[in-house]
Amino acid sequence: MIILAGIFGVLAVVLANIWLANQRNAMAQAGNVPRDTIVVAAVPLKFGDTLSEDKLREIAWPAGAVPAGAFKTTKEALAGNGTRQALQAIGANEPVLTTKITGPGQRATLSAVLGEGMKAVSIRVNDVLGVAGFVFPGDRVDILLTRAVHGDGGSDRSYVDVLLQSVKVLAIDQVADESKDNPQVVKAVTVEVGTKDAQKLTLAAGAGQLSLALRQAAASKGESTERVTLSDLTGDTPEDVAKRQAELDRQKAAEAAAAEERKRSNEKIDGLAQAVERVGSQIDQLSKVKPAVAPAPQPQEVVKEVVKYVQPEPPARATIGVFRGVKLETYDVPRQK
């Protein structure tokens, strides 16, 4: 056992020496890698901060891994007529790239943040449509369009479409600083879109109501969408919607028929009133006519005649009229003796 322990101990020492030698060789080879310099931020920079020598510094960087748009020296980063400003938040020791700062003498405005061929369009929102103020510059959102269309049957149909997906937010109200992290309710959100999408947003703003849906930070790809209608909220089938619409149409038709019946009744009442008025005026005219005076009778020969009055038999049936509302109904009934 003592001999085996000694053998294993020697073997462990040999393996440790081999591993340490390999590590020293690797470090020596790493020290021989070509080095270059790169400009990084010496302090954290915010949107709109002006670059200066005390805010930048140079560090060693592998020559084959220099990021595109990086500066090798501080003098190169500050070269040109005028100062440069940060277009987005840059952390300490983070490389300063041309895409993150303005050109010489250029201000940190929204136009400097726009990508090639892109446009900035503002959308009016409120505390609900703007995702309760939790949308910040640099976030990605989907833009939804809600509108109501007047159908052929006289009813309004409401639906929601996904107008645009994965749209970059440039600014909220008049703040374009991506380092802003305090939620606030805003009235407008400015997004970065292409020319055709800018036309869509401008047209949609007058056609319906726009709202935002905040996307996951890593979810930049589009997804398949479909239109959502009121029937999707209740789970009704197209047959159910057709039946409900038919019932509404039947109720409207019944209301229209009742209104027409009331109109005809009013016309009949007006006709009866006019007839009564005409009869009254004729009676008044007859009452104003003076009776004619008959001439004195001339003496004539009197001829006496005996006239016997015979009471006629009353008719066996009689006609009775009954007013039901404004409608006159007649009935032929036997006369009571």
Do residues 214 and 124 share a domain?
yes
Q: Tell me, what CATH number does 56's domain have?
A: 3.90.1210.10
Count of structural domains within the chain: 3
Q: Give the pLDDT confidence score for residue 111 in this predicted structure.
A: 73
Judged on CB neighbours under 10 Å (0-12, 13-18, 19+), 294 is: exposed
pTM as predicted: 0.48
Q: Which residues of 186-215 are buried (b: 16+ CB within 10 A; e: fewer)?
A: beebbbbbeeebbebbeebeeebebbbebb
d(CA 171, CA 153): 43
Last residue of a domain, one of 84, 108, 132: 108
**Residue 336's domain spans which residues?**
236-273+317-337
Q: Which amino acid is at 141?
A: V
Residues 6 or more apart whose CB falls under 8 angstroms from that of 223 comprise 165
In this prediction, residue 184 carries a pLDDT of: 63
pLDDT of residue 300: 65
Strand, coil or helix: 141: strand
Q: What is the pLDDT of residue 230?
A: 72
Query: Is residue 216 included in any domain, yes or no?
Result: yes
Q: Which of 183, 207, 232 is the last residue of a domain?
A: 232
Q: How far apart are CA 156 and CA 170, in angstroms?
A: 36
Residue 301 forms part of a structural domain = no
Q: Compute the distance between CA of residue 201 and CA of residue 187 in angstroms, rounded to an integer.
A: 16
Which residue ranges of the chain lie beneath pLDDT 50? none
Let me know the angle formed at the C-alpha of 216 by 211 and 222, rounded to the nearest 5 degrees: 75
Decide: 163 and 243 in contact? Cβ < 8 Å: no
How many Cβ atoms from other residues are within 10 Å of residue 164's Cβ? 19
- Rounded to whole angstroms, the Cα distance separating 236 from 229 reads 10
